[in-house]
Structure 1
Amino acid sequence: MWFDPACPWAWLTSRWLMEVEKVRDVDLTWSVMSLSVLNEKADLSQEYRDLMEQAWGPVRVIIAASQSHGAKVVKPLYDAMGTRIHLGRMKDYEQVVAESVEEVGLPASLGSAARQKKYDAALRRSHRRGISLVGTDVGTPVISVGEVAFFGPVVTPAPRGEAAGRLWDGTLLVARTPGFYEIKRTRTQSPVFD
């Protein structure tokens, strides 16, 4: 799964996938993509542009942590950041990064990666890898299973138990259907983080 810690929909999808792991034989890997990269050339409101500027920090820190401590730290760091951003509703991403790095037991110095563009090339490679599987008409999250990849699902609240498994089964069924591209309806509910 490709995620951006700032995306509430990716957060919900990740919580769903954690439920899927309990009821289906799946082995998850976690990779970053970036809403900031995705929206670089988009015409955005100033409020969203400000959020995208701040959103560089967490993904840079995850890239830096992965480079220096291995892929095993990606998911715990994402969990720590997402818990603060989405459940704790923290808006100060510097504080999110500092507390998350500490929670995961990583050196506090990793927090400085949030402002260091030297991690952007690796971030862009990870982002490009995810987007290359699904095309440019999508955002985060991206999921890849074998030869098939897709955006989403966008779901709230995250299904649990066997309901999570059934959604997984159905998602794979439609995603693996040749020529199938999209199911969509207007979102009428904001993310529910229960």
Structure 2
Amino acid sequence: MWFDPACPWAWMTSRWLMEVEKVRDIEVSWQVMSLSVLNEKRDLPKDYRAMMDQAWGPVRVVIAARELYGEEYVKALYDAMGTRIHPGGDHDYQSVVVGAIADVGLPESLAKAATMKKWDAAVRRSHKEGITLVGIDVGTPVIAFGDTAFFGPVVTPAPKGEAAGKLWDGTLLVAGTPGFYEIKRTRTQGPIFD
């Protein structure tokens, strides 16, 4: 799964996938993608552009942690950041980064990676890896399973138990159908972080 810590819908999907791991024979590999990269050449409202500019920080930190300390910190940092951002409501990404780093026991100095452009090439590579599987008309999350890759699903609240497994089964069925591209309806509520 490719995620951006800033995306509430990726957060919901990640919580669902964690449930799927309990009821289906899958093991999720966690990868970074970036809404900042996805949106960098788009004309966006001023407030959303400001958020995209700040959203570089968390993805840089996750990438730096992976490179410096190991793959196991990708999911750990995502969980720590996502918990602070989404159910926690903290949208001060510097505060989120500092707190998440402390939560997972990494050195405080890692927080400097949030403003270091030297990590951007690795962010872009990881992002490109995910987006290449599904095309540029989507965002985060991206999920790949075998030869099947797709955006989403966008779901709230995250299904639990066998309901999570059934959604997984159905998602693989439709996404794996040759020529199948999209199911969509208007969202009538925001993410439910329970």
Residue 15 of structure 1 is matched in structure 2 by 15
Separation in structure 2 between the aligned mates of residue 171 and residue 162 of structure 1, nearest angstrom: 14
Separation in structure 2 between the aligned mates of residue 182 and residue 76 of structure 1, nearest angstrom: 31
| TM-aligned CA deviation for residue 115 of structure 1 | 0.1
Residue 45 of structure 2 is matched in structure 1 by 45
Identity value in percent: 72
Separation in structure 2 between the aligned mates of residue 43 and residue 140 of structure 1, nearest angstrom: 19
- The residue correspondences of 1:136-147 to structure 2 (distance < 5 A) are 136-147=136-147
Separation in structure 2 between the aligned mates of residue 189 and residue 93 of structure 1, nearest angstrom: 24
SS of 1:28 mapped into structure 2: coil
Indicate yes or no: 2:129 matched with 1:129. Answer: yes
Residue 150 of structure 1 is matched in structure 2 by 150
Separation in structure 1 between the aligned mates of residue 130 and residue 71 of structure 2, nearest angstrom: 16
Aligned length: 194
Residue 160 of structure 1 is matched in structure 2 by 160
1:81-134 Cα shifts (integer Å, max 9, x gaps): 000000110021111000100110001100000000000000000000000000
Separation in structure 2 between the aligned mates of residue 137 and residue 76 of structure 1, nearest angstrom: 29
Q: What amino acid sits opposite 1:9 in the alignment?
A: W
Q: Which runs of 5+ in 1 are unaligned?
A: none
| TM-aligned CA deviation for residue 70 of structure 1 | 1.0
Normalising by structure 1, what TM-score? Answer: 0.99
SS of 2:55 mapped into structure 1: helix
SS of 2:48 mapped into structure 1: helix
CA RMSD between the two structures: 0.5
1:48-94 Cα shifts (integer Å, max 9, x gaps): 01100110000000000000011111001000000000011002111
Moved over 3 A (4+): none
Q: Which runs of 5+ in 2 are unaligned?
A: none
Indicate yes or no: 2:173 matched with 1:173. Answer: yes
